Amino acid sequence: MSSAADKAKGLANEAIGNVKQGIGKATDNTKLQVEGKLQEKKGEAQQALGKAKDAVKKTIDKA
């Protein structure tokens, strides 16, 4: 997967996770809150992976 795709999927997962957390809080649904938090963290990790791929590519391109 490309770095752009990783970052895009990461942003989407973060957004969906935040929505799930909000709905979970509004409905007092702890399970949905936890699912949302996990999905948000997954999104953050995907974005970090995309940024790392960019950094590696930039380093290789300089060589």
Average confidence score pLDDT of the chain? 95
Confidence class for position 1, pLDDT limits 50, 70, 90: confident
Please report the pLDDT score of residue 62 as a whole number.
Answer: 86
Residue 1, SS3 per DSSP? coil
DSSP conformation class of 28 = T
Ranges of each domain in the chain = 3-62
Q: Residues 10-37: what's their mean pLDDT?
A: 98
Section 5-25 average pLDDT: 97
Helices then strands, each counted (H, E), the chain: 2, 0
